[in-house]
Structure 1
């Protein structure tokens, strides 16, 4: 935040509410009926805002109404509080995993906060809120607290589409646990997908009330493509971007390639270190969703933040090193992250 304040002549608040942040603030203030905006095909489309999930705007509106805080302040407070819950959850997750410890948990928090686009956890974006719910859902899975896993996963489904990865991981873990936990895993199995399915269905009912249930569930994906040129293409767009980036002189493109490559490497390390399979499945699915979509390529470092489980082996490894090694590693990551966030939000003039 301090580095961003120094780098940004437009002002800190302006940068913390940029790009998607403005959409969330508009939805919080006026709902989804904001009028027609030009979509990715340059057609006026009144349904474009519905690509953004309602959980975060609802919390902004609620906090603003109950405290009298302005929408901007409310949005940043929600992100800050969610970030604290995420940090507490990550510290716990780092303790309860195989080979974990209190020190590993604290290092996991530090590494997560020092991710390349860690600044987004302090912005009017959904990452902090989603990650807080995701980490507690995964804690529920590992501790076999299935009600916690199901409720947190259901709420995460109202925040962003990454909840699909979380829901699949939680449901698979619940199914596998049926033999040992029997009916105790049922709440997670039933609740996990409800938030995501409810919003997708609700969107379909508003946009295509005459369509069938299946078509209504697909409506959100159609809006993503129409409004934001985003769809799952199996990684074709990402592959093209990699080829173009490696032959260009665009700094942000090369940095994005480095982050994507680092994420794939972290998945390999997590697999080799035998990370608990529900955590590995969740991280892998987030990675697949990110790399497999044609979304804005320079936003992918931000979209990879929810794959925090892939940082666990690094945290455990650092916890077994000397204190000076751990401190220097985390401090270096934090400095690089601060610069990366400032560069992405101020020097880079396009959306992230």
Structure 2
């Protein structure tokens, strides 16, 4: 019996050794297929395919090439900077249509820099590199949202948050040559770092977010305050102290770079004012725009954009007053919305500008996660379809949404 048992164990060991690599791969593949991160990424990509399909369906009858739609407006600037650098942009103009060589400095450097790196891959164009970058960044953002939802509420809430963000009004920007997906990926992972007190992750992600777009000023404030509180409460947390000093470097570094190039301490703000007539006005223009649109204007599309912003305000109130939202998420969500509302210029773009405030959707995700599965799926499906139409309409019919 002993000899038989030894022989059986020896045969099992030899068989396992022979199948070792294949068996390990099968086990790993099985685990990944069941992973919430993979499901979040797949669901996000499905939602984005629906959005792109809606755009293609609405663009075709109007003879609008899909590729042109996906690189319009800001996309043109990013591709020019990626290919030619800041000083090589072709015929840069200001808000009045006059030549303005410094206009390109309004765009932060990380997105075009990464686009330029991806373009070096065989057979990849600058446009293709930009789309690839946005897609990969969107996946990274979706996985971070899954993790946040799981930390705050449940696995289902995390999956729903990824789906809702991928289908939000103007989510088409996540599949364009634009920075929404890249910035949101950095912001989401930075907030993961804050929630888990992984301060090196928070610092690194915030630094890169600061090189991506100016919305990082909200993220920097939240991350630095959270890290400073941790330093105060736990005097031995040197990693949190490092985060306090490292997190702002990306944003401050680029603003300093523009100040040197333009010869003005407020160089970047000056570029925004002349190039796009964008400035901080404490919400005066947003208030006029909302009230005029709702009560005096007859433009149906602008009314819909205003309703989206009103919904965002309501969600921000829920985030701030709700007991289930950790304060860093609530502060970030509300901060992004306040920044958007208090910035004058291009009011019809506000539904896109608020897209990085993904945490605004967390109360919706948590609410749906507690419903019956059929109710959850039905509500999410309607949201996806409406969001796909909204984005497609904005790029094919309404010419001021991007």
- TM-score norm. by structure 2 comes to 0.83
Measure how far apart 1:350 and its partner are.
2.6
Give the secondary structure class of the aligned counterpart of 1:44. coil
Measure how far apart 1:36 and its partner are.
5.0
Q: In 1, Cα distance between the equivalents of 2:119 and 2:56?
A: 25
Q: In 1, Cα distance between the equivalents of 2:386 and 2:90?
A: 40
1:7 equivalent in structure 2: 58
Q: Identify the match of residue 194 of structure 1 among 234, 249, 254.
A: 249
Q: Identify the match of residue 183 of structure 1 among 238, 242, 250.
A: 238
Q: In 2, Cα distance between the equivalents of 1:325 and 1:202?
A: 51
Measure how far apart 1:180 and its partner are.
3.3
Measure how far apart 1:258 and its partner are.
0.6
2:360 equivalent in structure 1: 310
- Pairing 1:191-270 to 2, within 5 Å after superposition: 191-208=246-263, 215-216=264-265, 218-246=266-294, 247-270=296-319
1:212 equivalent in structure 2: none
Q: In 1, Cα distance between the equivalents of 2:214 and 2:172?
A: 20
Q: In 2, Cα distance between the equivalents of 1:41 and 1:120?
A: 25
Give the secondary structure class of the aligned counterpart of 1:47. helix
Give the secondary structure class of the aligned counterpart of 1:125. coil
Measure how far apart 1:154 and its partner are.
0.2
1:326 equivalent in structure 2: 376
Gaps of at least 5 residues in structure 1 are 209-214
Q: 1:156-213 CA distances to partner (integer Å, 9 max, x unpaired)?
A: 00000000000000001011111334323112111111000000000111111xxxxx
Give the secondary structure class of the aligned counterpart of 2:124. coil
Measure how far apart 1:150 and its partner are.
0.3
1:281 equivalent in structure 2: 331
More off after superposition, 306-315 vs 150-159? 306-315
- TM-score norm. by structure 1 comes to 0.95
Q: 1:76-128 CA distances to partner (integer Å, 9 max, x unpaired)?
A: 0000000000011000000111xx11111001111111111111111111000
Contact 1:35 1:46 in 2 (8 A): no
Q: In 1, Cα distance between the equivalents of 2:161 and 2:54?
A: 22
Gaps of at least 5 residues in structure 2 are 1-51
Q: In 2, Cα distance between the equivalents of 1:292 and 1:267?
A: 15
* RMSD, aligned α-carbons: 1.2
Contact 1:252 1:298 in 2 (8 A): no
Q: In 1, Cα distance between the equivalents of 2:86 and 2:401?
A: 21
Q: In 2, Cα distance between the equivalents of 1:36 and 1:12?
A: 24
Q: 1:292-331 CA distances to partner (integer Å, 9 max, x unpaired)?
A: 0013111111110111112112111111110011111110
1:80 equivalent in structure 2: 135
Give the secondary structure class of the aligned counterpart of 2:214. coil
2:83 equivalent in structure 1: 29
Q: Identify the match of residue 103 of structure 2 among 37, 42, 48.
A: 48
Aligned residues: 343
Measure how far apart 1:233 and its partner are.
0.5
Q: In 2, Cα distance between the equivalents of 1:321 and 1:257?
A: 29
Q: In 2, Cα distance between the equivalents of 1:187 and 1:252?
A: 47
The structure with more radius of gyration:
2
Q: Identify the match of residue 19 of structure 1 among 73, 79, 92.
A: 73
1:271 equivalent in structure 2: 320
Q: 1:255-291 CA distances to partner (integer Å, 9 max, x unpaired)?
A: 1101110000001111232211111111111111100
Residue 89, structure 1, aligned to residue 153, structure 2: no
Residue 117, structure 1, aligned to residue 170, structure 2: yes
More off after superposition, 220-229 vs 306-315? 306-315
